[in-house]
């Protein structure tokens, strides 16, 4: 049984719960991507995922988990990115 499936029974109440779930999800998909081929392969007529598809699924799962944390009033699970300040152009 996948660890993700066993995690489905855990309540997501506190911010710590959401962070723990995000860590487990990320760990699961990173480990899965290490054994996944770069290109999708067919085994017995069944298509297996590519490395980019596995990491895309990871990103989407983390994005959805973050949205749920924000909706529950806990704030974003990810560190805020710094704003990039572009220099202003001098006018003639």
Alpha-carbon 79 to chain mean position:
14
Residues 64 and 6: beta-carbon distance below 8 Å:
no
Give tens-digit pLDDT for 34-50. 999 999 888 889 999 99
Give tens-digit pLDDT for 56-74. 999 999 999 999 999 999 9
Residue 39 tokens, joined: 């290109």
For the chain, domain boundaries: 3-71
Q: Name the 3-class secondary structure at 42.
A: strand
Mean of pLDDT over the chain: 85
Q: What is the pTM of this model?
A: 0.73
DSSP 46: E
Residue 49 tokens, joined: 């995922």
């Amino acid at each position: 049984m996948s660890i993700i499936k066993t995690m489905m029974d855990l309540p997501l109440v506190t911010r710590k719960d959401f962070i723990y779930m995000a860590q487990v999800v990320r760990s699961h998909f990173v480990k899965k991507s290490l054994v996944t081929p770069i290109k999708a392969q067919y085994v017995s007529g069944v298509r297996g995922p590519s490395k980019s598809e596995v990491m895309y699924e990871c990103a989407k799962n983390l994005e959805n988990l973050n949205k749920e944390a924000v909706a529950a009033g806990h704030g974003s699970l990810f560190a805020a990115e710094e704003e990039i300040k572009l220099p202003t152009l001098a006018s003639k």
